[in-house]
Structures are given as C-alpha cells and as structure tokens.
Structure 1
Amino acid sequence: MFLKGLKPTLFRISTKLTLAYSMVLILSSTLIFSFLYFQITHSLQAQERSILVSKTEEFANRIEVNGLEDFKQYFEVLRTFDRDSSLIVTVYGENGEILFSHSPTPQPQFDQTLLVNELNKHGESTFEFSIPERSGAEAVLVLGKILKNGERLVMAKSTEGMGKQLRYLQKLFWWALLPVALIGFLGGLFLSNSTLSPVRELINSMKKIERGSLSTRVPVGGSEDELEELKLMFNKALDKIENLVNGLKEAFDHLAHDIRTPVTRLRGRAEIALTSEGDLESYREALQSCFENSDKILSFLQVLTDITEAENRSKKLKIEKKFISELVREIMDLYEMAFEEKNIKVIQKLDTHDWAMVDPRLISRVIANLLDNAHKYTPPGGEVIIETINQTESVILKVVDSGPGIAAEEHGLIWQKLYRSDKSRSEYGMGLGLTFVKAVVEAHDGKVSIKSPVKDGRGTEMEITLQKMA
C-alpha cells in the first residue's frame, strides 16, 4: 500500500526537479572535492619527495666532503632531533653491508629483503621507488644516491602522516556532504515550487474550465520567461475556444431557426393533406410544397457539407485553366433578369486576360454567391460593379454594391457559419454564402477581403484573389 501511494509522488515533476537539483549539487560537490583531493594529494607527495631530495643531497655532500665518521658523529650530536624526525637514513657499502643506519621512533615496519632487492635493481647514480609497509595501506618512499667511493646513501620516509591527513580530508568531505544534500533538497523544493507555480495556475484554470467556467483566464505576471509566454498563448487559445463555443451556440440557434421554417411548412402541408378530403390537385400542391421545403433543407445541408470539405481540403479540386470573365458572364446570364426587376445597373469591367487555375464549378458558385448578395442588399435603382484585374501571378475579382454597407466590427464575423448581420435579417438566407466563398477561395490558396463602406457611408466591396499557378 505504501509503494502504491509513493509511485505517483515519485513521478511528479516537482519531485523529479527536487531530486535532480539535489543530485546535481551533490555530484558537483563530489567532483570539486575529487579535484581538490587530487591536487592536495599531488602537492603532499611533491612536498614529501622534495624533503627527501634536499636531505639526500645534503647528506651525500656531507659524507663525500667530511667522510662517514663525521656523518655518524653528526647524528650522535643531533640524535634527539633526528629521533623525532620521520626520516630513515642508511648507508650501504660496496658489497651491500650496512655501514650506518638511523631510524625514527616509531620505526616504519617494512620488508628489508624487499628493500635490498629493489636497491639491487637500480644501478643509476640516483634512484627513487616506493615499497609497502607491512601493516596498513601506507607506503615508504625511498630515494638514494651512489656516492663517489661506491657507497650508497638511502633515504626513506613513511607516508603515514600524509595518509592520515588525506583520510581526515575524506572524513571531512563525507560530513560536509550531509548539509550539502540537505541544502540541495531544500533548494530543489524551492526551485520546483517557483518554477512550476505557473503550471499549477494552468492546472487550476483548466479545472475551472472543466467545471464550465469558460471565462476563466490564467493570471499573467510581469516576467518574460517561457512559462509566461505559455500562459499568454494559453489565454489566447481560451479566447478562441470561448469565441468558438459562443459562435457554435449562436450558430445552432440560427440553424434551428432557419431549418424550423421549412420543416414547419413541410409538416403543416402534409398534415393538411392527410386530415382534409381534397381533390387530386390539392394533394399535388401539398406534395409540391413538401418537395420544395425538403429541397431547401437538403440544399442547406449540402452547403454545410461543401464548406466542411473545402475547409478541410478533403475533396480534391478539379483544377483547370479558366478565364474568370467567362465565368462571370455565365452567372450574369442567370442573374440578369433579377437585376432588371430591381432596376439595378450592372457595370462589368472585365479583363480579357484574366485566366487562373481554378475548379470552374466551385468558383462559379463563389461568383454566384457574391452576385446574389449584391442583388439582395442593393436597393432598387442602385448600382453593382463587377471587375476583374489581371496581374502577373494572380487575378482579382471585385464585386461592389451600393447597399447599406457592413459595420467595421462585423468584417471579421461575416465569414463565420450561419452569421447574419442585423441588416440582413429581413432578407431570406442561410448565412452560409460568405462562409462558402472564403472556404473555397482559401482551398484554391487564394485570399478574400472586404471593404465597407465604399462611398458616402454606403456600399460594400468584396474582393477575391485567385492564383494563376495551382
């Protein structure tokens, strides 16, 4: 049970950061100590060797200048001083016999046979080696020199004192490592808490959003680090999500309103036909009405499907080279009578070289939607301008009407599904025309834009850009 409760705690990021900080601090302290320990060891060894070298030169010169008897008298006079020192001094004759020997108190215990064997291996004028002591892990450092008369002066010194100093340093390090580990743990806790506090704020905000509070935002501080940038991006994403959710709610309201009318009519006519005793002609009219209203519903749903396919680019476009002016003329043939009925003057400024790589069927529907909007919102006696502009790499199509215009705050909303401005409520429509236009044009890697008002506070200019190269 304890391990089960411990596992989630161990895998928390705060725990990992705390442990990582502690380990880094401990490892760095260990590395620093190892470096210092190596330097101190090297320095002590160099110091010990330096003492032996200087003493060896001093004693060799004394023996060679004053003789061995003087050297013996020298140690007799300074016996007390030399007894307290840690130097072992031995003079060997040419045949290996010991002519003089001096040992400190206490005397290091080592194998004399091993020492003689090592001496016999070195025939140089000066030599240096080390041999282990019989007890402990210490060693005896040996330096020597062959004198002019063939005798050999051997100096030895135990490294026990140096070993004690190094062992003291090791013990000091292990005791110092405990507060270092504690400091590392506390520092890791502080670091993890301060570092992860923005993440906790994100988690708390997400929990509130999960409970339904879409207006919740993560508090932003004054720092400019990556976590603050993450909070800003998270808040922007929440803004978009809230707008999308609100837009969906509004869209479903509009969708229910737009579908309710044809469905109600369809049901009403069907109910009348079923409950009344009419003639064949009345039944035919009822079926005709049901057909027309069901066709409106199917058309509405089909446009929604087309928009989704265009936005997701799930349907492959049938791209071909097509003159936009030709498509405009074809659609105008269908709308010409409608414009004449409202006495709307249509001015066409079509370039003869306005070709682009497009799907003719979809772009024709785009042009039809733009002309349909221009016809709806241009008052009787008004004017509509259709213009194509040929460019090196693209073609621009503009449709300008003289209607009431669109408020600036609605310029970004008119492309949304089912959005209808207050000015368009009186006109029948599904609120999908401009959404379809934007989706299809962007599927062609083109651009859409709006300018309103155009002149004297009235009019709307719709502009689309289509590429010459697919």
Structure 2
Amino acid sequence: MEAKLEEYRNRIEMRGLKELTDYFSYVPAYDQNASLLVSLVNSRGDVLFIHEPVSGTNVDFEDVKSEVINQKSPHFDFVMPEAKGNDSLLVFGKTLKDGNRLFVAKSTEGMGVQLRNLQKIFWWLLLPVALVGFLGGLFLSNKTLSPVRELLTSMKKIEGGSLSTRVPIGGSDDELEELKILCNKMLDKIENLVNGLKEAFDHLAHDIRTPVTRLRGRAELALQAEGDIETYREALQSCFENSDKILNFLQVLTDITEAENRSKKLKLEKKFISQLVEEIMSLYEMAFEEKDIKISVKLDAHDWAMVDARLISRVIANLLDNAHKYTPSGGEVLIETINQTENVILRVTDTGPGIAAEEHGAIFQKLYRSDKSRSEYGMGLGLTFVKAVVEAHDGKVSVKSPVKDGKGTEFEVLLQKMS
C-alpha cells in the first residue's frame, strides 16, 4: 500500500492529476484484486479524484475523508473499523506539495481470506512435512549412532576379556570413523602391552626360580648333612651368590623403571665418552683375550657430552658384555666414537650370528631373550637398561643386523652434547 501510494504521488506531482485519471481510465479493473480505494482531497474536503474498489467498503467515505483532513502529519496512517463484521479499513496517506491529501485504503476482509487460505495450506502441509522430518531424523540419527553402537558393543566384549576384539571400520571419512581407527590402534597397543606383561612375568618367574631353587637346595642339603665347617661355609657361599643374583636382577629392574619414568635426577657432567670406554675396556680386555676375540678401537679425542658418567659407563659395559657373549672365538669387535657438532655417537659392532629383522624392536623389551641367546646366561635386561638410560639423556639407540655376509650386529648410541 505504501508503494502504491508513492507511485500515485509521483504521477500527480510529476505529470499532474490528469495523468492519474487517465491511468485508471485505461485500466478500469486494475484495482479489483487488490481492493484499493484511491482518493485525492483538498484541505476544504473537496474530492479531486476517487477510485473505488469493485467490492466496495463497509465504511462511509465521508468519515474516511474527515479523518484524512484532520491528520496533521505529512505522512499518516490509521485504522477505521467497518460497520459489519470484525474487519477494518487500513488507510495510508501523504500531504502533497500543494497541500492536497492523497490516500489509499484497503479492507482487511481480503487479508483475512488470504490468511485463512494460508492456514489451510499450512495445516495440510504440516502432516507430510512432520512425517518426512520424523523419518529423516530417524534415518539420520540411526546412521549417526550406528558407529557409536558398534563402539559400545566392542567395548563390552573387551570388558568381558576379549582383548582381540576390534571396532569394525567402514568406508566413511568422518570424525567417528577416525575415532574408531584411533580406538583400534589403542587396543592394539593395550593388547601388546598385556601380552608383553604376561611374557615378562613368565620370564621373570623363570629367571628368579633358578637361583632361588639353587639357594634352597644348597641350604637344604647343608641342613640335612652332618658336615664340617667348610661344608657349611660352601653352602653359605652358594646361598650368598644366588641371593646376590636375585638382588642384582631386582636392582636392574628398579634402575630401568627409574630411567624410563625419569623419577631419578641425572647427575650430568662434562665427560669424554672415549675415556669412559677406555675405563670399561680395561675390565673386559682379559675376557676378550681368553675367548680369542680381536678388539679394534677408534676413539675421537673430542667426543665430550653432558652425561651421568655412572649410568653411561653401565651402558658401555652392557654393550661390551653382549659383544663378548655372542661373538664366537676368533671373531672381532669394533668400538668407536664419532664426534659431531651437537652429538656424540658410540658404536659397538661384532661379528656374531646377528639378530633377525623381526626381533629388532623386541630385543629392547624387558626380559626378552631370542632363541639364539637362550644358551647364554643373562637376565634379558641389558638392552632394556641401555635404551632406558640413553632416552633419559634425550638420546637414541638403534640396532643394525646383519652387518656383513648375513652376520654381525651393530649397536649405535647417539648422545646429545647438551642433553
């Protein structure tokens, strides 16, 4: 209505009243659907132009005209109740430049009919829209919750003790699918840890049972026999040695745990790794000579690093001990240090039988012993200790095997100068 009012005002002010009169004469039924009453009156109440809707109105035109003349604002609008029914007449008007009042009016009766039609359409559409929405929501919720149900089902099976259960992976690429993949990876790690723990306890029980059995057996024989003081002394010596093995075994386990958890503060000091190697080598030279193993040493004179000397010395000792155990008579062991700008490398290479590729990761696990090493005495903790201590220094340890001709093993320890 405001747009029509502005249109008619422009016609009058730009082209004159005749333009508006001609416009409505050319389109006699123009306002039939909109039901607009259009009129122009002067300040005295004279009607200069009027166009009445085909359907007419239930409000006296004189009353409308009087209310229009009484309006003081240049832009005005008001509502007048119709004589019949609950409908009203909406009036919008403007005061033109010459002081005349132009206004348009419309009955709300047509609006009520349109509203009721819209209400009917709304109610007819509500049911199918609600049905489609309900079915669509049910489908989407089922599709969305399906991965969650699969996850819950798998978790219940795992809770029941089935650690091999995994969450089914679909072909989608959403966040829930990523969650299932991460969950399966976590389950793989948990299963590996649990299996490793079981295996570790089996090895632990086996390795402790042997010295404990010897200790008990020797003590029992000494108690049953009526021997002299020397016999009892030998029995006590055997008990001492076996108990010392057990204590040493438990102490190494404790040291590994402290190094892995970094619960014990390292006593860092500037040390030349070559000096530590020479100190440990002096303890092993005779053992290597007895087994007819050739030792080659290549040490860098500038291979210093900030380390805990006591722990790194034990690392070197463990690597030399392994090389001594698994290098056959007539073999060769190479020990070298390499100085770099920010790191120092310690490398121990032997000519032993080597380590299978599938065992490279397992040899650093607690109590792990490969089939080749079963014949040699050991606790299965040496390389675990090496890895824990080196990583506590923010370093890295790696293994390469075979080295040459399908034989040999090379352990490389990388230490940071400023760890």
The two structures have a TM-score, normalised by structure 2, of 0.84
| C-alpha displacement of 1:318 | 1.2
Which residue matches 2:257?
Answer: 308
Structure 1: which amino acid aligns with 2:336? E
The structure, 1 or 2, with the larger RCO (C-alpha pairs under 8 Å, 6+ apart) is 1
- Give the match for residue 442 of structure 1: 391
Distance 1:56 1:138, change over 3 A: farther
Paired residues for 1:151-170 under 5 Å = 155-170=104-119
Is this contact kept in 1: 2:9–2:102, CA < 8 A?
no
- Offset of 1:353 from its aligned partner? 0.5
User: Which residue is equivalent to 1:353?
Assistant: 302
Of 280, 283, 304, the residue aligned with 2:229 is 280
* DSSP 3-state at the match of 1:372: helix
Would you say 1:463 and 2:419 are equivalent positions? no
Q: After the TM superposition, which residues 14-413 of structure 1 pair with which residues of structure 2 at under 5 Å, given as runs?
A: 45=1, 49=5, 61=17, 86=35, 95-96=44-45, 107-109=57-59, 116=66, 118-122=68-72, 128-133=76-81, 136=86, 138-143=88-93, 155-170=104-119, 172-173=121-122, 175-413=124-362
| Correspondence for 2:382 | 433
Contact 2:11 2:19 in 1 (8 A): no
The aligned residue for residue 31 of structure 1 is none
- Alignment CA distance shift 1:449-1:142 (3 Å): closer
- Report the Cα distance in structure 2 between the residues aligned to 1:395 and 1:375, rounded to whole angstroms: 23
Aligned-pair CA distance for 1:380 = 1.9
Moved more, 329-338 or 359-368: 329-338
- Cα distance between partner residues in 1 of 2:382 and 2:241: 20
CA 298–108 in structure 1, closer or farther in 2 if over 3 Å, else same: farther
**Does the 8 A contact of 1:342 with 1:380 survive in 2?**
yes
Q: Comparing 231-240 with 414-423, which one deviates more in the overlay? A: 231-240
Shift of the 249–433 alpha-carbon distance from structure 1 to 2, 3 Å rule, reads same
CA distance in structure 2 between the partners assigned to 1:109 and 1:409 by the alignment: 100
Tell me if structure 2 keeps the 8 A contact 1:92–1:100: yes
Instruction: Quickly say closer, same or farther: Cα 1:351–1:98, change in 2 above 3 A.
Output: closer
Match of 2:372 among 423, 435, 451: 423
Task: Please give the secondary structure, in 1, of the residue aligned with 2:418.
Answer: coil
How far apart are 1:239 and its partner, in Å?
2.5
Work out whether residues 271 and 309 of structure 2, in 8 Å CA contact, stay in contact via their aligned partners in 1: yes
Shift of residue 106, structure 1, vs aligned partner:
6.3
Identity value in percent:
69
Cα distance in 2 between the residues matched to 1:347 and 1:421: 27
Rounded to whole Å, the distance in 1 between the matches of 2:20 and 2:180 is 86
Q: Which amino acid aligns with 1:181?
A: A
Distance 1:363 1:277 in 2: 49
Distance 1:137 1:263, change over 3 A: farther
Deviates more, 1:111-120 or 1:419-428: 111-120
What amino acid is the match of 1:224? D
Aligned-pair distance for 1:268? Answer: 1.4
CA distance in 2, matches of 1:214, 1:64: 89
- Consecutive unaligned residues of structure 1, counting only runs of 5 or more, are 1-44, 67-73
Indicate how the Cα distance of structure 1 residues 438 and 118 shifts in structure 2: closer, same or farther if over 3 A, else same.
Answer: same
Residue by residue over 1:383-432, the C-alpha shift from the partner in whole angstroms, topping out at 9 and shown as x without a partner, is: 11111011111011111112111111111111111110111101110001
Give, in angstroms, the shift of residue 436 of structure 1: 0.7
- When normalised by structure 1's length, the TM-score is 0.76
**Any idea what SS the aligned residue of 2:364 has?**
coil
Distance verdict in 2 for CA 1:132–1:457, change over 3 Å: same
Q: Return closer, same or farther for 1:381/1:154 CA change in 2, 3 Å cut-off.
A: closer
**Whole-angstrom CA distance in 1 between matches of 2:10 and 2:134:** 50
Q: Contact 2:11–2:17 (CA<8 Å) still a contact in 1?
A: no
- The alpha-carbon deviation at position 444 of structure 1 amounts to 0.9
Which has the larger displacement, 226-235 or 382-391?
226-235
Read off the aligned partner of 1:194 and give its amino acid letter. K
Helix, strand or coil at the partner of 1:449: strand
What residue identity is the alignment partner of 1:243? N
Write the deviation string for residues 310-348 of structure 1: whole angstroms up to 9, x where unpaired. Answer: 112222111111100111111112112211221222111
Deviations 1:57-113 (A, max 9, x none): 9xx9369999xxxxxxx9xxx9xx999995557786755588999977663348977
Residue type matched to 1:143 in 2?
Answer: G
